[in-house]
Amino acid sequence: MAIRYTVATISPRYHQAILDWQRRNFPELDILLAYWEKYFPGLPRFQLVAKIGELRSEVIEVGKYAGQPKIERAAEMAGNMFYTARRIIRAQCSTEFGSIEQHRMSLDTAPTEEARFEILRIMAEELRHAYQMFWVLDHDPTWKRPGHGDVAAETIEELLAMRTGTHVLDAFNIEFRDFLDNAVYTAIIDLVGKYQLDMMQIFSYAPMARSMGPMLGEEGFHMGFGRRALKELAVAATRGEGAYSLQDVQRAINKWYPRGLEMFGNERTGETAVAFGFKPKTNGQAQAEYIAEVEGIIEGVNIALVRVHHPNMPPDEARRLIREVQSSGESRKGIRPEDLLLLPDRRFFRRRGPEEYVFQPYDLRGNLLTEGGRPISPEQYLAYLARVLPESYLASEDFHRYAEQLKAHHERRTGEPSPFWLA
């Protein structure tokens, strides 16, 4: 169904600021526009504008203000509601800028020109989404309030200054190394974006709610690209073709999936956003639905992998075979556990979330790694992670940050200094 919307632009000052950011961080936009009709025939040409959709409901749908008219002016949000909305808008915009920076890092590793231009389109739409968040802040003069300063201007300036390593969410501070990152990221991380945008269609601050429909429609292309690329790379690996092994694909999933889980926030919280009418579900409810959908994605890839070996096997039989192999840890009909992809347990490699998960040495299957009845040491867990994460990631700033945080957490919890194997 086509999404109806009107278009708007932001103030010349910030419109130019985004153009300047684009020229520095996404100069390839000009190439995309030059070849737009060749790669996306029939699709309206990309424009850097805000798209203002229709409200799903004129009244607040959940929370303590349910039944009241949607809020049109930021000044109508009192106290914590005002700043919580600002934090959500800031985080959403940060993800858009961060994603562009990340995709560009490995753009030239795309296996085909078509894939390269699909990534460029994703980057362009992320730029428009950042522009949309600027519109939410910029078009409403009541973000500037006596005693509070110009919250919109301060937020926009902060966002323009962010770079990889300083974005709000950890998933957007991880460097891309190759096309495998582009593929797994769009399949797993952009899927979180779908859940957030879908929930925020009910946002009690009407300008944010009006922004979600058009953004959600564009996000569908990003996820579709990721699912297709992930399956193609895994199937090629199973056939002994392409640039990546199935182990490479598994390691990339191990790298990204924990960060996707954390994008929902602590799964034990989220009541405040529901109370303010910003979202209809708590973090845990939304995350549980996300996990089930990612499980379905991985199962779909595994069915394709089984059918490389057994082309005529019906999908239901392939599903049963996959479950037998993964539950038993043994080969069945020529399919070994290592011939399939595994979705890591939600406790694996967590740095945010419930206290019992955070910086605890869980393996891919959710087993707590112990020695002598006690959890293994940080350096032992880092050695385990080195075996299941991409080798290139181990040298990244993000992994070094994780290692430092793991060490500090261990020392706070036990009072014992931990030797450190990373320089």
Boundary of a domain, candidates 264, 279, 300: 300
Q: Tens digit of pLDDT for each residue in 134-158? A: 999 999 999 997 777 899 999 999 9
3-class DSSP assignment, residue 332 = strand
- Would 366 be classed as within a structural domain? yes
* CA pair distance 163, 159, nearest whole angstrom: 9
Q: Tens digit of pLDDT for each residue in 243-274? A: 999 999 999 999 999 999 999 999 999 999 99
* CA pair distance 182, 77, nearest whole angstrom: 38
Q: Tens digit of pLDDT for each residue in 46-60? A: 999 999 999 999 999
Q: Tens digit of pLDDT for each residue in 364-379? A: 999 999 999 999 999 9
* CA pair distance 262, 97, nearest whole angstrom: 19
Boundary of a domain, candidates 300, 328, 354: 300
Q: Do strands 370-371 and 5-8 pair parallel, antiparallel, or not at all (unpaired)?
A: unpaired
Question: What is the predicted pLDDT for the residue at 419?
Answer: 47
Q: What percent of the chain has pLDDT over 90?
A: 95
Which backbone phi and psi does 53 adopt, to 5 degrees? Answer: -85, -170
Contacts of 267 (CB under 8 A, 6+ apart): 261, 283, 284, 287, 288, 353, 354
Given pLDDT bands bounded at 50, 70 and 90, which one contains residue 408?
Answer: very high
CATH classification of the domain holding 129: 1.10.620.20
Same-domain pairing of 136 and 221: yes
- Would 157 be classed as within a structural domain? yes
Same-domain pairing of 18 and 140: yes
The verdict on pTM exceeding 0.85 is: yes
- Would 330 be classed as within a structural domain? no
Same-domain pairing of 251 and 367: no
> Which of 293, 322, 387 is CA-nearest to residue 349?
387
Average pLDDT over residues 272-297: 98
* CA pair distance 255, 21, nearest whole angstrom: 29
Question: What is the predicted pLDDT for the residue at 418?
Answer: 54
- Would 327 be classed as within a structural domain? no
Residue type at 2 in one-letter notation: A
Same-domain pairing of 162 and 238: yes
Same-domain pairing of 164 and 37: yes
Q: Range of 162's domain? A: 5-300
- Would 196 be classed as within a structural domain? yes
Number of separate domains in the chain? 2
- Would 90 be classed as within a structural domain? yes
Residue 300 clears pLDDT 50, i.e. is over it: yes
Residue 209 near residue 70, CB atoms below 8 Å: yes
Same-domain pairing of 203 and 128: yes
Classify residue 361 by its DSSP letter: -
